[in-house]
Amino acid sequence: MNPEAEFFFKKGKWQEEFERLRMIVLDSGLTEELKWGCPCYTVEKKNVVLIHGFKSYCALLFFKGALLKDPNGILIQQTEHVQAARQIRFTNAREIVKMKSILKTYVRNAIDVEKAGLKVDFKKTREFSVPGEFQ
């Protein structure tokens, strides 16, 4: 546990859910850091998963979620433009308790993806040109 991240677990609406997610993720041996104001879990200094909360849900965000196996169909692409990251969303602690072993499997898979050095094949998005710029 990283003392810098402690404040995150003591604020807001999702305290119990955040603590349960934290224990699941820390049990995997990842390093807890604080990035973007949220607890971020890394392996070999590479981001694997982040815990964050919103108004109507809290979530585990897998940085390379698009590369994860999803046999349970629980990974969510936040918007159509998000290419790599995927979330698993929760609205209460009971859901997290019920899914504990599944969540551990997803975290282990995310660690394996990172350790294998796999990369998301990003699709090129719209190209912008500046008026008057030479083509």
Q: What is the DSSP letter of 65?
A: G
Angular region, 57: left φ>0, alpha ψ -120 to 50, beta rest: beta
For the entire predicted model, the pTM comes to 0.88
Tens-place pLDDT, residues 54-65: 999 999 999 999
Tens digit of each residue's pLDDT (9 = 90 or more) over 93-118: 999 999 999 999 999 999 999 999 99
